[in-house]
Amino acid sequence: MKKIIVFVLALSLFVLTPKPISAQTTSNSNRQVHLLADTFDMYDPLKIGNSGSANYPKKDFSNPGKVISEALNYAFPLAGLILFVMIIWGGFEMLAGAATAKSKDAGRQRVTAAVAGFFLLFAAYWITQIIEVIFGVKILGQ
């Protein structure tokens, strides 16, 4: 029984030992490396999108600037939606509390803050657009 266990252990060590890898570069190995890189790019979680066509370009999140640029594409529509909700909320607050001046003032302040915040966001967007045109850099990803 001990001889069988020793034989199985010796055989497993022989089978499981790492094999040396040759560092020679040939055209076949370059092709394999290129295929391996393409495979990694295809399954890279930081590069999202499966076709890479003009209609559906791959999204590249490999650095913080690209992540922020992609997030800004969704920030402006989201800000418009929040503006709409805040104006409706403030208007409802003013109508529902028409009997008290405190409630009307709270609604007016909510609407004013929403419009002022949206104006600041709108101004920041156009300032970045002007900087892109003047300096020829791309800040916002499209």
pLDDT level of residue 98 (50, 70, 90 thresholds): confident
| pLDDT tens digit sequence for 100-113 | 888 889 899 999 99
Between CA 139 and CA 127 the distance in angstroms is 11
Beta-carbon contacts of 91 under 8 Å, excluding residues fewer than 6 positions away, are 107, 111
Which pLDDT belongs to residue 76?
A: 82
Task: Give yes or no for residue 130 having a pLDDT over 60.
Answer: yes
**How far are the Cα atoms of 42, 54, 56, 94, 95 from residue 99, in angstroms, in the given order?**
62, 57, 54, 9, 9
Task: Give yes or no for residue 139 having a pLDDT over 80.
Answer: no
Which pLDDT belongs to residue 42?
A: 63
Task: Give yes or no for residue 31 having a pLDDT over 90.
Answer: no
Task: Give yes or no for residue 22 having a pLDDT over 60.
Answer: no
